[in-house]
Amino acid sequence: MPLRHWERHRTERTGWLRASVLGANDGIVSTASLVLGVAAAHATHGQILVAGVAGLVAGAMSMAAGEYVSVHSQADTEQADLERERKELEANDQDERKELAAIYVGRGLDPALAQQVADQLMAHDALGAHARDELGITGTLSARPIQAAFASAGSFAVGAAMPLLVAAMAPEASLIPLVSGTSLGFLALLGAVAARAGGAGMTVGAMRVTFWGALAMGLTAGVGALFGTVV
């Protein structure tokens, strides 16, 4: 009876983790920057909130569309490669066996064992063996456009809601320091959690995300202040 593989690896999280972290990070940075830019241009509290809500909706839809198109292109490429490999297997099974065996030899098996492994794997699932070992396509890492789109849109909306809620509750006089401070805190927390989930250092992850978020918010606030002064 074959043993079941219960061990979990972080690479299984790659698809949804990347999309979710990217979406939440963009949601916080873009919405906080938008709110700060409009606030620095001396807009009213109501105008700031309208701009923030519009940014949340537009950003979430943009993230969903962008992720779907991008990941779907990857999925199309994978399907095209699999179809090509299927035709090659049908046309010349023996050459494909040699090709697979050569891959295993390159990984350290002796030629006789490599050929035996190739024969057995192709007898079980020829296309699956070539997809995994020749093309690098597996069920875990294959492109999932719908999953990526929903993960990006949902996480963007959650991230964008954080500075937007702070802006809604903050007094107008202290809106800029409160939104910028809490947003940087949210970014640091997001960076640490994402790094922890991916097995990286939490401090480095937090600092990396916070630095770029602070830069984006500072530049946008500066542009808003300049625009407000000129106009």
- Span 89-147, pLDDT tens digits: 777 777 777 877 888 887 888 888 888 878 787 778 777 777 777 777 666 555 677 87
User: Mean pLDDT of all residues in the chain?
Assistant: 80
**Residue 77 pLDDT > 60:** yes
Give the total residue count for the chain. 231
Number of H-type helices and E-type strands within the chain: 7, 0
In which band, very low, low, confident or very high, does the pLDDT at 201 lie, cut at 50, 70 and 90? confident
3-state secondary structure of 218: helix
Per-residue pLDDT, averaged over 201-228, amounts to 84
CB 163 within 8 A of CB 35: yes
User: Cα–Cα distances in Å, from 202 out to 47, 71, 206?
Assistant: 37, 28, 6
What are 41-61's pLDDT values in tens digits?
Answer: 888 999 999 999 999 999 999
- pTM as predicted: 0.68
For the chain, what percent of residues have pLDDT higher than 70? Answer: 84
How far is it, in rounded angstroms, from Cα 146 to Cα 71? 9
Q: What is the dihedral of CA 68, 69, 74, 75, to 10 degrees?
A: 60
